[in-house]
Amino acid sequence: MESMDKLSLLIKKFQRELLSGDLKDYTLKQLYYIELIDKNEGISVSEISKTLELKKSTVSIAVNQLIDLGIIVKIQSNTDKRVYFLKLTSKGKNIMEMHKQVHKNTIKKILKILNPIEVENFINIVDKITVLNDNE
């Protein structure tokens, strides 16, 4: 099997692990939005739209689903009543902690099988790939 096929299978396995256990009730898209809001507390729908290069209406639908699930709340701006900022609820924070734990467990598995030089090479490769993705 080619290396790219193996990598693809590994990514799919990671996604399955991510969507198992306590996180099985959420989609990858929902977890991505939750993570984005966690990292950028107070972000607006417009800012998410720009960041993800999606229509504002598409983002609004996803955000409203997360509000309905009690995962995030909208907080109205004091200066511009048309603007709302997004924040995780305690339920959203718990989901984010579980999400982070899956990431940590995966990283531990990777680090357990690599020697220090391989870890350094792995980090350099990921950094290069990330830069490539950021430039597109």
Residue-range definition of the domain harbouring residue 93: 3-134
User: Residue 119: its pLDDT value, please?
Assistant: 87
Number of domains into which the chain is organized: 1
pLDDT, average across residues 112-131? 87
* pLDDT tens string 64-80: 999 999 999 999 999 99
CB 24 within 8 A of CB 39: no
CATH number, domain of 93, equals 1.10.10.10
Whole-angstrom CA distances from 111 to 4, 29, 116, 123 are 20, 27, 9, 11
* pLDDT tens string 23-74: 888 888 999 999 999 999 999 999 999 999 999 999 999 999 999 999 999 9
Report the range out of 22-26, 100-104, 117-121 with the highest average pLDDT.
117-121
Its pTM stands at: 0.78
